[in-house]
Structure 1
Amino acid sequence: MRRDIEFRTEDGVTLRGWHYKAKGVDGPAPTVVMAHGFTATREIYLDSFAEVFSAAGLGVIVYDHRNFGVSDGSPRGHADPWAQINGYRDAITWAQTQSDVDPNRIGVWGSSYAGGHVLVVAALDRRVKCVVSQVPLTWGFETARRLIRGDHWAGLRAAFDGDRAARARGEAGAMMPVTAPEGQPCALPTADTYEFFIRFAEEHETNWKNEVTLHSIEMFTEYEPATYIARIAPTPLMVVVASGDHLTPFDMTARAYEQALEPKKLVVLPGGHFEAYTGEPFKISSAAQRDWFKQNL
């Protein structure tokens, strides 16, 4: 059973989502706080994970980041990683006020861009008692240099500078597609990104929009969540990687995992970045994550 929820961030933005009740639990339950990756919204398979966790006796709070989906915030389509990190912490604060949440047994879950966020949240916020980071962004600059052709880099840097100047003049920031057919400019230039988002939008009702601020991409290149990973301990950490991932590359995530201290666990899935959300990789991953949360919350 789930209900619609909303809560306010410390700076006054209303975030909205769902609260799944822990099945079979009367009274305060261990609870997992979840949000999605770069521009993605809650209905893009997060309900599948939440249902697995809820059925196992875990409460789940799923919400959209500010500026996306059903949450408020402007400019729309702006993905500020630090504002999203603070959103997680505001969600934890709200959760601790709820009568059916055990305030001392809070876990966090994030995937892709938010997989990086939960590394930072768990390192900084000791209210977090367990963390699962799925196919996470680890080093933003290195990831960007792998995704963006070398001969395009100087032009992108110039676009960042021009966009900054335009915003300083009071103009609206530039926008670009999140994904596009091969060869067309976009934020995430991989074929599997295009297939995943466009197919989902064609087959489901969704609040996802194929647009993101250029400033978001600049912030992506400056964001280095893996630098926090050694500070997570002694909070239990699970990292889920996909062996064929080239959006958040396997070798980079594995390198970050090596820097984490115990207790920790690595789960390696077959396939690429987006297979983690569906099919057999989802069954493997969601079961391992469920058990990790149950063990540690």
Structure 2
Amino acid sequence: MVACTRRPVELFSEGTRLAAEIFMPERPSPNGFPAILLCHGWGGLKDHLARYAGKFAEAGYAAMTFDYRGWGESDGRVIAARDVPPLREAGERTLNVRVLREIVDPVDQTTDIRNCLAYLASEPGVDAGRIGIWGTSYGGGHAVFTAGHDDRIKVAVAQIGGFGFPPEHREWARGRAADKARGLIDTIVPQNGVDGVEGLKGTPDVARMAEHSQLQAAARVSVPTLIIDAEYEELNNRLEHGFAAYMMIRQNAPAEYHTYPCKHYDVYEEYFDPSTDLALGWFDKYL
């Protein structure tokens, strides 16, 4: 293990400022360090992943954590208030706006991930040809989605991931989308709207979730992928999420599926060391 540095950075995702941190090994690397982008889950913050990023950096990897737009230290997405005049000319305007925060929107979040990836790949001291992605909980699904759509990702690790929207609720969610489009409801402003999930922070944009499938993206993944699950997962049916993703990925790339005898949140505490060591072993082997 080597010492590492931790540095806050600011980047832009489709014009929205994101807060992030770069963890780097202190020792020099003439060819650049392999790098890992870390993606947290539903309601998570970059600070929650600092201990993972620090461990990766101590093992010789550059690592990056970040807050999704509208979460933690990142700016919220800005939309015009409904009573403003039509915005039909380009350029700067002064007007009333609404700031959206703590929305769980997989489309925005995966866009943020790809912009963070662009930043990380251009970071001095990083080998842009050796970038892996690690995600946990809802971010585990995002990691697989990104690996299936972006060839800059060479290795993926998805921990206790969520991989899609329940199909039995899709028509209901599409009804939400229609009501939003017609201006009949405004479920995502303010926070904790009518579709909030008990026990989870933030408001899911179910209209966007219904049309976004991390599981379908798994069929596109062609890079080595490790899926880590909780055997007694209580938030999702792991056989329909992590295991199903593994079964798709293994047809096109090296893949492993590993479980720990615990529930979802136990992976962060009781199984932190073994799960992180397992992920590091995977990155060491393929990155």
Q: TM-score range by the shorter chain?
A: 0.7 to 0.9
Q: Secondary structure at the match of 1:285?
A: helix
Contact kept in structure 1, 2:132 and 2:153, CA below 8 Å: yes
Partner of 2:196: 187
Partner of 1:37: 41
Measured after TM superposition, the shift of residue 158 of structure 1 is: 6.3
Measured after TM superposition, the shift of residue 18 of structure 1 is: 0.8
Alignment counterpart, residue 56 of structure 2, candidates 53, 68, 73: 53
Q: Secondary structure at the match of 2:147?
A: helix
Contact kept in structure 1, 2:227 and 2:257, CA below 8 Å: yes
Number of aligned residues: 257
Q: Secondary structure at the match of 1:226?
A: helix
Measured after TM superposition, the shift of residue 26 of structure 1 is: 2.9
Measured after TM superposition, the shift of residue 138 of structure 1 is: 1.5
Say if 1:221 and 1:273 are closer, same or farther in 2 by CA, change over 3 A. Answer: farther
Map 1:23-172; keep pairs closer than 5 Å.
Answer: 23-27=26-30, 28-44=32-48, 46-74=49-77, 75-142=100-167, 162-166=179-183
Q: Secondary structure at the match of 1:33?
A: strand
CA root-mean-square deviation: 2.6
Q: Give a deviation string over 1:119-170, Cα, whole Å, max 9, x none.
A: 111111111111111111113124x86xxxxxxx96x8766654554378xx
Measured after TM superposition, the shift of residue 31 of structure 1 is: 0.6
Identify unmatched segments of 5+ residues in structure 2: 78-99
Bigger strand fraction = 2
Whole-Å separation in 1 of the counterparts to 2:28 and 2:182 = 54
Q: Does 1:220 align with 2:209?
A: yes
Q: Which amino acid aligns with 2:35?
A: T
Identify unmatched segments of 5+ residues in structure 1: 146-152, 179-184, 198-209
Q: Which amino acid aligns with 1:43?
A: D
Whole-Å separation in 2 of the counterparts to 1:12 and 1:241 = 35
Sequence identity, in percent? 23
Bigger helix fraction = 1
Q: Which structure: larger Rg? A: 2
